[in-house]
Amino acid sequence: MIFQIDTNMIITTSRKPSQLTRRFTQFIKHYFNLTYINRGKTSFNKIVNTTKQDNIEKLVVITETKGNPSSINIYNIEKSTQTPVLSFYINTSIPSNKKTINVNSNDIYIINKAKSLSEINELFTEIKPDYKITQNCVICKDTTHPDAIAEITFIDKNGKNTDYKIYINGYKIVDENII
Protein backbone atom coordinates (compact mmCIF):
# COMPACT_ATOMS: atom_id res chain seq x y z
CA MET A 1 0.00 0.00 0.00
CA ILE A 2 1.15 3.55 -0.70
CA PHE A 3 0.53 6.52 1.60
CA GLN A 4 1.51 10.15 1.76
CA ILE A 5 2.61 11.45 5.15
CA ASP A 6 1.51 14.64 6.91
CA THR A 7 4.69 16.57 7.71
CA ASN A 8 3.01 19.09 9.99
CA MET A 9 4.71 17.59 13.05
CA ILE A 10 7.33 18.55 15.57
CA ILE A 11 10.17 16.16 16.34
CA THR A 12 12.37 16.02 19.41
CA THR A 13 14.36 13.53 21.47
CA SER A 14 14.32 12.27 25.01
CA ARG A 15 16.28 14.37 27.50
CA LYS A 16 20.03 14.71 27.03
CA PRO A 17 20.27 12.52 23.91
CA SER A 18 23.48 10.92 22.72
CA GLN A 19 25.22 12.18 19.61
CA LEU A 20 23.98 9.14 17.68
CA THR A 21 20.36 9.79 18.65
CA ARG A 22 20.67 13.48 17.74
CA ARG A 23 22.18 12.54 14.37
CA PHE A 24 19.38 10.07 13.63
CA THR A 25 16.74 12.62 14.70
CA GLN A 26 18.34 15.28 12.49
CA PHE A 27 18.19 12.87 9.54
CA ILE A 28 14.46 12.26 10.13
CA LYS A 29 13.93 16.02 10.53
CA HIS A 30 15.64 16.81 7.21
CA TYR A 31 14.14 13.89 5.32
CA PHE A 32 10.55 14.78 6.23
CA ASN A 33 11.13 18.55 6.62
CA LEU A 34 9.86 18.52 10.19
CA THR A 35 10.24 21.21 12.82
CA TYR A 36 12.86 20.19 15.39
CA ILE A 37 12.93 21.26 19.02
CA ASN A 38 16.27 20.89 20.79
CA ARG A 39 15.25 19.05 23.95
CA GLY A 40 18.17 19.34 26.35
CA LYS A 41 16.62 19.70 29.81
CA THR A 42 13.26 21.03 28.55
CA SER A 43 10.29 19.29 30.17
CA PHE A 44 7.87 17.23 28.13
CA ASN A 45 5.00 19.57 29.11
CA LYS A 46 6.89 22.59 27.78
CA ILE A 47 7.45 20.78 24.45
CA VAL A 48 3.72 19.95 24.31
CA ASN A 49 2.78 23.59 25.01
CA THR A 50 5.13 24.77 22.23
CA THR A 51 3.49 22.28 19.88
CA LYS A 52 0.01 23.51 20.81
CA GLN A 53 1.03 27.17 20.34
CA ASP A 54 2.25 26.38 16.83
CA ASN A 55 -1.08 24.63 16.02
CA ILE A 56 0.68 21.36 15.35
CA GLU A 57 -1.28 18.21 16.16
CA LYS A 58 1.47 15.60 16.31
CA LEU A 59 4.66 15.33 18.30
CA VAL A 60 7.31 12.72 17.49
CA VAL A 61 9.74 11.81 20.25
CA ILE A 62 12.82 9.67 19.56
CA THR A 63 13.94 7.90 22.73
CA GLU A 64 17.13 5.98 23.35
CA THR A 65 18.55 3.07 25.28
CA LYS A 66 22.26 2.95 26.06
CA GLY A 67 22.90 5.88 23.69
CA ASN A 68 21.13 4.32 20.68
CA PRO A 69 17.74 5.29 19.24
CA SER A 70 15.29 2.73 20.61
CA SER A 71 11.78 3.97 19.92
CA ILE A 72 9.75 6.41 17.88
CA ASN A 73 6.72 7.64 19.81
CA ILE A 74 3.96 9.63 18.15
CA TYR A 75 1.69 11.75 20.32
CA ASN A 76 -1.59 13.33 19.20
CA ILE A 77 -1.49 16.64 21.04
CA GLU A 78 -5.23 17.28 20.67
CA LYS A 79 -6.19 14.02 22.39
CA SER A 80 -3.74 12.93 25.05
CA THR A 81 -0.16 13.79 25.79
CA GLN A 82 0.57 11.23 28.48
CA THR A 83 0.61 8.17 26.23
CA PRO A 84 1.87 7.90 22.68
CA VAL A 85 -0.85 6.90 20.23
CA LEU A 86 1.69 4.91 18.20
CA SER A 87 5.08 3.56 19.24
CA PHE A 88 7.70 1.78 17.16
CA TYR A 89 10.43 -0.14 18.98
CA ILE A 90 13.51 0.11 16.81
CA ASN A 91 17.17 -0.42 16.09
CA THR A 92 18.88 1.77 13.54
CA SER A 93 21.66 1.52 11.00
CA ILE A 94 23.29 4.90 10.48
CA PRO A 95 26.08 5.46 7.93
CA SER A 96 29.43 6.29 9.50
CA ASN A 97 30.02 9.25 7.19
CA LYS A 98 27.62 12.17 6.99
CA LYS A 99 25.77 12.45 3.70
CA THR A 100 23.82 15.24 2.08
CA ILE A 101 20.14 14.38 2.00
CA ASN A 102 18.54 15.14 -1.35
CA VAL A 103 14.80 14.85 -0.89
CA ASN A 104 11.77 16.77 -2.06
CA SER A 105 10.08 16.78 1.34
CA ASN A 106 6.75 17.98 -0.05
CA ASP A 107 6.28 14.81 -2.06
CA ILE A 108 7.35 11.83 0.09
CA TYR A 109 5.51 8.53 -0.11
CA ILE A 110 5.48 5.59 2.27
CA ILE A 111 5.34 2.22 0.57
CA ASN A 112 4.39 -0.55 2.99
CA LYS A 113 5.28 -3.99 1.64
CA ALA A 114 5.70 -5.49 5.11
CA LYS A 115 3.06 -8.07 6.01
CA SER A 116 4.20 -7.74 9.62
CA LEU A 117 3.07 -4.08 9.56
CA SER A 118 -0.23 -4.60 7.72
CA GLU A 119 -2.22 -3.53 10.79
CA ILE A 120 -0.69 -0.06 10.45
CA ASN A 121 -2.17 0.31 6.94
CA GLU A 122 -5.54 1.01 8.52
CA LEU A 123 -4.17 4.17 10.16
CA PHE A 124 -3.41 5.86 6.84
CA THR A 125 -5.40 6.78 3.76
CA GLU A 126 -4.14 4.81 0.80
CA ILE A 127 -3.32 6.70 -2.37
CA LYS A 128 -2.81 5.39 -5.88
CA PRO A 129 -0.41 7.63 -7.79
CA ASP A 130 -0.47 7.70 -11.57
CA TYR A 131 3.18 6.70 -11.78
CA LYS A 132 5.54 4.15 -10.29
CA ILE A 133 7.29 5.54 -7.24
CA THR A 134 11.06 5.04 -7.30
CA GLN A 135 12.27 8.19 -5.53
CA ASN A 136 11.35 10.36 -2.52
CA CYS A 137 9.99 7.34 -0.69
CA VAL A 138 10.23 5.31 2.46
CA ILE A 139 10.01 1.58 1.84
CA CYS A 140 8.83 -0.73 4.61
CA LYS A 141 9.38 -4.43 3.99
CA ASP A 142 9.67 -7.67 5.90
CA THR A 143 13.24 -8.46 6.88
CA THR A 144 15.58 -11.34 7.48
CA HIS A 145 17.24 -9.42 10.33
CA PRO A 146 17.07 -11.83 13.32
CA ASP A 147 15.74 -9.31 15.87
CA ALA A 148 13.33 -7.34 13.67
CA ILE A 149 9.93 -7.83 12.09
CA ALA A 150 10.41 -5.20 9.38
CA GLU A 151 12.96 -2.79 7.99
CA ILE A 152 12.56 0.71 6.65
CA THR A 153 14.76 2.13 3.90
CA PHE A 154 14.85 5.79 2.86
CA ILE A 155 15.20 6.63 -0.85
CA ASP A 156 16.20 10.14 -1.99
CA LYS A 157 14.92 12.26 -4.90
CA ASN A 158 17.46 10.64 -7.25
CA GLY A 159 16.25 7.12 -6.42
CA LYS A 160 19.34 6.34 -4.31
CA ASN A 161 19.36 4.66 -0.93
CA THR A 162 20.36 7.09 1.85
CA ASP A 163 21.95 4.20 3.83
CA TYR A 164 19.85 5.05 6.90
CA LYS A 165 17.73 2.09 8.01
CA ILE A 166 15.27 1.46 10.76
CA TYR A 167 14.70 -2.07 11.99
CA ILE A 168 11.33 -2.38 13.68
CA ASN A 169 11.35 -4.85 16.56
CA GLY A 170 7.69 -4.26 17.40
CA TYR A 171 5.01 -1.63 17.64
CA LYS A 172 2.06 -0.63 19.75
CA ILE A 173 -1.08 1.16 18.58
CA VAL A 174 -2.98 2.89 21.39
CA ASP A 175 -5.37 5.00 19.30
CA GLU A 176 -6.40 4.09 15.76
CA ASN A 177 -7.53 7.65 14.96
CA ILE A 178 -4.08 9.20 14.93
CA ILE A 179 -3.47 10.08 11.33
Summarize pLDDT for 103-149 with one digit per residue, the tens.
887 788 899 999 998 888 777 777 777 778 888 899 999 998 888 99
Query: What is residue 146's predicted lDDT score, i.e. its pLDDT?
Result: 87
- Tell me what the mean pLDDT of segment 15-40 comes to: 91
pLDDT tens, residue by residue, 88-97:
999 999 998 8
Query: What is residue 119's predicted lDDT score, i.e. its pLDDT?
Result: 86
3 state SS for the chain: CEEECCCCEEEEECCCCCHHHHHHHHHHHHHHCCEECCCCCCCHHHHHHHHHHCCCCEEEEEEEECCEEEEEEEEECCCCCCCCCEEEEEEEECCCCCCCCCCCHHHCEEEECCHHHHHHHHHCCECCCCCCCCCCEEEEEECCCCCCCEEEEEECCCCCEEEEEEEEEEEEECCCCCC
Query: What is residue 167's predicted lDDT score, i.e. its pLDDT?
Result: 96
Query: What is residue 55's predicted lDDT score, i.e. its pLDDT?
Result: 83
Query: What is residue 154's predicted lDDT score, i.e. its pLDDT?
Result: 94
Q: Residue 159 above 60 pLDDT?
A: yes
Of the pLDDT bands very low, low, confident and very high (cuts 50, 70, 90), residue 177 is low
Q: What is the pTM of this model?
A: 0.89
Query: What is residue 5's predicted lDDT score, i.e. its pLDDT?
Result: 73
Q: Residue 179 above 60 pLDDT?
A: no
